[in-house]
Amino acid sequence: MKHNMGKTDKTIRVIIAIALATLYLTNTVTGNLGIILMAIAVIVLITVGINFCPMYTPWGINTNKKKLSP
């Protein structure tokens, strides 16, 4: 897999995952919606961990800034 996520993209995703998990763990959102939000948070954290978002591939999106060699 080719990495297609940049640092800013990963930071935003971690913030979103923490917010979703907080909503679930503080019982602000419960039931099926809470479980779905927690699942989304886990999926988002997995994509951050592997530096690859499968949703970016069909559209050719790449937020990873590659360093250019001199």
Query: Is position 38 within any domain?
Result: yes
This prediction has a pTM of: 0.83
What does each of the 70 residues of the chain score in pLDDT, given as a tens digit?
788 899 999 999 999 999 999 999 999 999 999 999 999 999 999 999 999 999 998 998 898 887 545 5
Tell me whether residue 27 is in a domain. yes
CA distance linking residue 35 with residue 41, whole number of Å = 10
Q: What is the per-residue pLDDT for 67? A: 59
The pLDDT, as a whole number, for residue 70 is: 55
* Distance of alpha carbon 10 from alpha carbon 47, whole angstroms: 9
Residue 1 placed within a domain:
no
Range of the domain at 18: 7-53
Q: How many domains does the chain have?
A: 1
pLDDT (0 to 100) of residue 47:
95
| Per-residue confidence (pLDDT) for residue 23, from 0 to 100 | 95
